[in-house]
Amino acid sequence: MSTMGDGTRAVRAGLPEPEQYEPTLPGPVFAAHFHLSGEPVGPYTYGRETNPTWTHLERAIGELEAPGEQVETTVFASGMAAISAVLLSQARTGDAVVLPDDGYQALPLVREQLEAYGVEVRTAPTGGDAQLALLDGAKLLWIETPSNPGLDVCDIRRLVEAAHAKGVLVAVDNTLATPIGQRPLELGADFSVASDTKGMTGHGDILLGHVSCLDPELGAGVRRWRKVVGAIPGPMEAWLAHRSLATLQLRIDRQCTTALALAEALSKRADVAGLRYPGLPGDPSYPTAVRQMRRFGSVVSFVLADKDTAERFLGGLRLVDDATSFGGVRSTAERRARWGGDAVPEGFVRFSVGAEDPEDLLADVERALDAAAAR
């Protein structure tokens, strides 16, 4: 499958060998324990450690993260569970870790936790590969590219080379791109981590996360951590996620194409400032993004005049839900400053492009912008 296209791999990812009278994708297995006599070994023992539905999903994600490679994937109850699994299982008292200061809004909470355990946390912005300057003596470098919601991009290969030369492990939060947009393990990262709540599952109805690694020892550490904290996904969620992966390429291709069209349309408007989309030639992220990304994501961000204009715009949209999160088939947008966690202006809008017909979506946005400006 490793030589096939993304769509082919997505529809077949993680499926078991065909067996007469068995379904293509076996249904969710609900089990707290499994029949187990004698020595407690074997693939399925207790439901906090293993579950056949996870096995299929983990295989599927692995095939997307590192086609043709032996890869260890562990699924979690949420993206935050996956992120914490890497950081909290790797960092020890006295270690230093490098985090982005413009990353996901819950990262500062993780930072507090790390510091409470006696871990030194250093931060720098994503843009301009600024984290490069903080690597000396560090244990782990955490990258989030494109950053969220600012959409800055850093050069993964360059950061990995510098980090590995200093014995520093590298983890990439790949939530925004998904593995069909960017493959961190291929770019040299030790951990590819994601919230699969977003584009990976794409329907805005489940929370899930995963960590993939090529090094079996690192993978085992992550898996051990899941057993310790018990941050396991339910079998139903895992099965729904696997089902959703079949349409990953269809969804993401459509969403990325429309996102570029939206960014182009917005770039022509005088009432839109601070427009960012990594796939827009001319965007500061573009030169690095084209070298490491295969698709540029479904998120476009921009700044309207002020809080009220942004709220009028969001209220005027008919096809776009005012909601947080991103990557889903139904477009969403939100005024990001309402959360207080990101360093963004009051009129900053994070727009997640869905799978609607592009012409309908663009017309809705143009109309809502006109109406918001007319007041």
Name the residues annotated as catalytic.
48, 104, 173, 198
- Per CB under 6 A, the list member of 80, 87, 162, 163 interacting with ligand PLP is 80
Cβ atoms within 10 Å of 287's Cβ, excluding its own = 12
The whole-angstrom separation of Cα 215 and Cα 193 is 14
The distance of Cα 275 from the centroid of its chain, to the nearest Å, equals: 21
Helix (H) or strand (E) run with residue 138 in it: none
- Per CB under 6 A, the list member of 14, 62, 79, 100 interacting with ligand PLP is 79
61 binds ligand PLP (CB under 6 A): no
332 binds ligand PLP (CB under 6 A): no
179 binds ligand PLP (CB under 6 A): no
334 binds ligand PLP (CB under 6 A): no
The whole-angstrom separation of Cα 355 and Cα 332 is 11
- In sequence order, what DSSP letters do the residues of 70-83 get, joined into one string? --EEEEESSHHHHH
Residue nearest to ligand PLP (CB): 79
- Per CB under 6 A, the list member of 131, 195, 247, 331 interacting with ligand PLP is 195
198 binds ligand PLP (CB under 6 A): yes
Cβ 305 to ligand PLP, closest distance in Å?
27
Please, are residues 235 and 48 in contact by the beta-carbon 8 Å criterion?
Answer: no
Closest CA to 164 of 186, 184, 146, 139: 139
The nearer residue to ligand PLP, 66 or 241, going by C-beta atoms, is: 241
Local structure of residue 273 (DSSP, 8 states): E
> Locate tokens 């500062």: which residue?
108
142 binds ligand PLP (CB under 6 A): no
Phi, psi of 277 (to 5 degrees): -155, 120
209 binds ligand PLP (CB under 6 A): yes
The nearer residue to ligand PLP, 51 or 147, going by C-beta atoms, is: 147
- Per CB under 6 A, the list member of 73, 90, 131, 175 interacting with ligand PLP is 175
The nearer residue to ligand PLP, 10 or 85, going by C-beta atoms, is: 85
Cβ 250 to ligand PLP, closest distance in Å?
21
272 binds ligand PLP (CB under 6 A): no
- Per CB under 6 A, the list member of 207, 214, 304, 320 interacting with ligand PLP is 207
The nearer residue to ligand PLP, 123 or 309, going by C-beta atoms, is: 123
Closest CA to 297 of 207, 191, 194: 194
What end-to-end distance do the CA atoms of the chain give, in Å?
55
Q: Who contacts 360 (Cβ-Cβ below 8 Å, separation ≥6)? A: 319
351 binds ligand PLP (CB under 6 A): no
Residues 144-163 close enough to bind ligand PLP by CB under 6 A: 144, 148
76 binds ligand PLP (CB under 6 A): no
CA distances from 22 to 15, 59, 199, 241, 243 (A): 12, 19, 29, 20, 16
Closest CA to 150 of 134, 120, 171, 128: 128
Cβ 21 to ligand PLP, closest distance in Å?
36
Closest CA to 372 of 265, 260, 298, 269: 269
Residues 97-136 close enough to bind ligand PLP by CB under 6 A: 104
173 binds ligand PLP (CB under 6 A): yes
| Dihedral sign for Cα atoms in the order 234, 30, 224, 56 | negative
The whole-angstrom separation of Cα 260 and Cα 248 is 18
Contact region for ligand PLP (CB under 6 A) — 62-70, 76-84, 125-133, 222-230? 76-84
The nearer residue to ligand PLP, 200 or 263, going by C-beta atoms, is: 200
Please, are residues 207 and 82 in contact by the beta-carbon 8 Å criterion?
Answer: no
178 binds ligand PLP (CB under 6 A): no
Applying CB under 6 A, the residues found at the interface with ligand PLP are: 78-80, 83, 104, 144, 148, 173, 175-176, 195, 197-198, 207, 209
